[in-house]
């Protein structure tokens, strides 16, 4: 980046805000633009700030972190990192397209990793922007995946599906599995939607590997892959799956 990463902190605990600000101050080229002690003031203040990322607590009085984000213009919303003392909101956080989810007390090393993740996502968006203006989004053809002491270079076209595994994602490739430290939101953003579709909060599949689907309950499908593997889709991903398969008009 040619300029500092512009961050905003939202937390109702003054000590937590101060500690996070201090840790971010140790990061190279990170500028804390503002701090807010509640969701209401943050929702208003963020509209006037050109922030790159907001580090936000989940549980706050009156308006929590999720409610605050809903008040922001989606097109102008900064990247989001949730910082909380509770781990039970992780799934909801990633469904809200958070870049990362940090549990208090945040270790400096873990915060550094989160900042790097934000930088990578910003870089990916910046690289894709010129191509997107021409109507052609840019997506990587290869991924570097740690495999023991080595780093394996994986062709994206060989990935059959991606499964959530805690703080990692599991890449299924030709009958074997590789683990990559990444969020589902992060990996989804790096995969071409013409080739991959997210069918569940914890599952992404390659479209041309889908052999058949059949209804399963209200708004769900059983998705059968060419190798016989079956996945159940999530209700909230029904439209995305149908559009990917050219079924948008099918009830």
**What's the confidence (pLDDT) of residue 89?**
57
Pairing of strands 30-36, 79-84: unpaired
Asked whether the predicted pLDDT for residue 170 surpasses 60, the reply is yes
Tens of pLDDT, residues 113-163: 999 989 988 887 665 555 545 555 567 888 888 777 677 888 899 999 999
Mean pLDDT of the chain: 85
Which top CATH class is 5-133? alpha beta
The answer to whether 135 and 52 are in contact (CB under 8 A) is no
Please tell me the CATH code under which domain 142-244 is placed.
2.40.50.1020
Tokens coding 201:
């909060």
* CB count in 10 Å sphere of residue 115: 23
Kindly report the backbone phi and psi dihedral angles of residue 75, in degrees, each rounded to the nearest multiple of 5, phi listed first: -70, -25
For residue 8, what are the β-bridge partners?
34, 54
Residue found under tokens 């948008």: 248
The answer to whether 222 and 238 are in contact (CB under 8 A) is no
- How do the domains of the chain map onto residue ranges? 5-133, 142-244
pTM of the prediction? 0.54
């Amino acid at each position: 980046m040619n300029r500092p990463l512009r961050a905003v902190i939202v937390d109702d605990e003054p000590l937590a805000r101060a500690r996070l600000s201090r840790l971010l101050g140790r990061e190279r080229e990170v500028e804390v633009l503002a701090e807010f002690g509640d969701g209401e003031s943050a929702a208003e203040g963020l509209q006037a700030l050109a922030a790159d990322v907001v580090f936000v607590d989940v549980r706050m009085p009156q308006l929590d972190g999720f409610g605050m984000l809903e008040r922001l213009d989606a097109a102008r919303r900064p990247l989001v990192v949730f910082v909380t003392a509770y781990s039970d909101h992780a799934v909801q956080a990633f469904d809200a397209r958070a870049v990362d989810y940090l549990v208090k007390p945040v270790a400096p090393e873990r915060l550094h990793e989160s900042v790097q993740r934000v930088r990578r996502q910003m870089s990916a968006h910046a690289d894709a922007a010129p191509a997107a203006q021409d109507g052609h989004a840019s997506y990587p053809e290869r991924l570097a995946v740690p495999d023991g002491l080595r780093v394996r270079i994986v062709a994206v076209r060989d990935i059959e599906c991606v499964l959530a595994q805690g703080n990692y994602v599991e890449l299924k490739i030709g009958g074997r599995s590789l683990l990559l430290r990444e969020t589902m939101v992060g990996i989804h953003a790096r995969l071409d939607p013409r080739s991959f579709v997210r069918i569940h909060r914890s599952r992404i599949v390659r479209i041309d590997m889908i052999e058949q689907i059949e209804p399963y309950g209200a708004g769900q499908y059983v998705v059968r892959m060419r190798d016989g593997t079956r996945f159940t889709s999530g209700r909230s991903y029904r439209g995305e799956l149908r559009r990917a398969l050219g079924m948008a008009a099918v009830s």
